[in-house]
Amino acid sequence: MAVRDTTVTRVSGRRALAAGGFRALEAEVHLHCGASGRAIVPAIASTLGRTAASGIREITTLVDPALQGLDARSREDVDVSLLRLNTYSPMRVGTDVLAACSIAALRAAADSAGQPLYRYLQPEASRVPLPVVATLHSSDPAAVFRRLAVIPACASGAEEALDACAAIHAAAVELAPALRAGTPAFADDERGLELLITAIERAGFVPGEEIAVAAELQAARLYRNGRYRGPGGVPLDSDAWCELLADWVARFPIALLEDPFAAADRAGQQRFVRAFGSLVRVGGHELLACDATRVADAAAASLCGAIIAAPEEVGTMSELFAAFEAARAAGWDTAIAADGEGGDDAAAIHLAVGWNASLLKLGSIADPGSVARWNELLRIEAGLRPTYAFAHAQAAARMVH
């Protein structure tokens, strides 16, 4: 059989629309053999005058000439060339452009091989990540929790996980019919946790044994002058903040806390992880910025137990993979976030399966943007049977308490 020429011949960009009406950017990489790959990521708006057309212009004037002639099968060569654009060029390329072009090149290489992306990344792929599914949103910007999610550890696969999450969502809607982004809303943090536990029970599951809870905080937004803004706006020092989180972890089956401390409160996060890391995973998103060096530093200092990465926020996929490898070397969980206002092409799902992530953050099942991602996960699961394994066998067993 003739070897296909996978040389990049053209890179193009265009405007796209993401779920919820958000601006998005689509990149398309074309190969000499006729194969191609596309990727959609949210378009970045900045205070530096970056307009809607900036990303397309960067692809046309900078990325296209930089990638032409490269072999799309060499992820390292493609991504190094992309990163060099921000090293040697007087014009800097946006993270959205880097991510879109990096993913599109991977998809073009997979297309040239006649494989879905997850199989191209890992020919022996055999595991579906454990979903972490948004179930409640905060209706108060001052709340400690931004979102509360469920982890269906009792499920034997993505289909059962979907059914469990649908049942919990329906119960939550009955308890709190006011919706935000398709999900029930809460204003009070304690009430939100109680509501979620009640919804889990009404759906017929045992909290902590069959269904765990994940909480997204982004604590940096609550931190000013060495103090956190606690429930009701009460200022809390680092020790009091640790006590608040520890109390919630003790009383509720919280298995994952995402960004529970501000980056400036490194000592507080270290104390918390060393004291309670056996009960709850502390996930780093903003703290780690999906950087392998920062992951290694955080691991040495006992700051986290999981990395959470949104591919569209990282830049190149080589950087994402390096950070995942550093996290795995530290014994952490690895999570892909596919719950933002990104494109609906579900590339994040393929990356999660292809790179053997243990967790997959998904938006609410009532969120239209999540439909394509859930359906892609179900398709991949069907393609892995009958030999695949569900991630709960490794991740949830040590997370649920």
Residue 202: its H or E element? helix 189-202
Query: Pairing state of beta strands 254-258 and 183-186?
Result: unpaired
- pLDDT tier, 393 (very low <50, low <70, confident <90, very high otherwise): very low
Give residue 387's pLDDT.
60
Q: State both tokens at 8.
A: 């990049």
Q: Confidence band (pLDDT; 50, 70, 90) for 102?
A: very high
- Alpha carbon distances (Å) from 235 to 144, 218, 238, 268: 12, 16, 10, 15
CATH of the domain at 264: 3.20.20.120
Name the percent of the chain lying above pLDDT 90.
74
Identify the weakest region by mean pLDDT among 59-63, 90-94, 131-135, 316-320: 90-94
Full domain range(s) for residue 104: 8-114
Look at 10 and 43; give whichever has higher pLDDT. 10
Alpha carbons within 13 A on the beta-carbon side of 4: 17
How many distinct structural domains can be found in the chain? 2
- For 378-398, give one letter per residue: b (16+ CB within 10 A) or e: bebbeebeeebebbbeebbee
Nearest Cα to 217, choosing from 250, 184, 193?
193
Residues 242 and 383 grouped into a single domain = yes
pLDDT, tens digit, 9 for 90 and up, residues 177-192: 776 666 888 989 999 9
In a domain, 328, yes or no: yes
Give yes or no: residues 38 and 109 share one domain.
yes
pLDDT, tens digit, 9 for 90 and up, residues 330-351: 999 999 999 876 555 689 999 9
Say whether pTM exceeds 0.85: yes
Residue 386 has pLDDT above 80, yes or no: no
Q: What Å distances lie between residue 267 and 178, 261, 271, 330, CA to CA?
A: 38, 10, 6, 20
CATH code of the domain covering residue 93: 3.30.390.10
β 36-42/127-128 pair status: unpaired
Query: pLDDT at residue 392 above 70?
Result: no
Q: What is the pLDDT of residue 89?
A: 61
Q: Which residues of 184-198 are buried (b: 16+ CB within 10 A; e: fewer)?
A: bbbebbeebbebbbb
- Indicate whether 264 and 336 sit together in one domain: yes
Residue-wise pLDDT tens digits, 13-22: 999 887 777 7
Reported as a single tens digit per residue, the pLDDT across 202-239 is 999 999 999 999 999 999 999 999 999 999 999 999 99
For residues 213 and 165, the answer to whether their CB atoms sit within 8 Å is no
* Residues 161 and 268 placed together within one structural domain of the fold: yes
- The rounded distance, in Å, linking the Cα atoms of 64 and 316 is 16
Instruction: Assess whether 46 and 149 both reside in one domain.
Output: no
pLDDT at 313: 86
User: Which amino acid is residue 49, in one-letter code?
Assistant: G
In a domain, 119, yes or no: no
Is 2 part of a structural domain of the chain? Answer: no
Res. 401 pLDDT band, cuts 50 70 90: very low
> Does a structural domain hold residue 121?
no
Residue 229's alpha-carbon distances to 192, 219, 220, in angstroms, are 17, 9, 10
The arithmetic mean of pLDDT across residues 270-280, rounded, is: 95
Tell which residue, 61, 66, 62, 67, has the closest CA to residue 7: 67
For residues 193 and 148, the answer to whether their CB atoms sit within 8 Å is yes
Tell whether 343 and 389 lie within a shared domain: yes
Given 65, 83, 114, which residue is the final one in a domain? 114
Give the residue from 63, 85, 114 where a domain finishes: 114
Domain boundary among 114, 144, 171: 114
> Do 95 and 232 sit in the same domain of this protein?
no
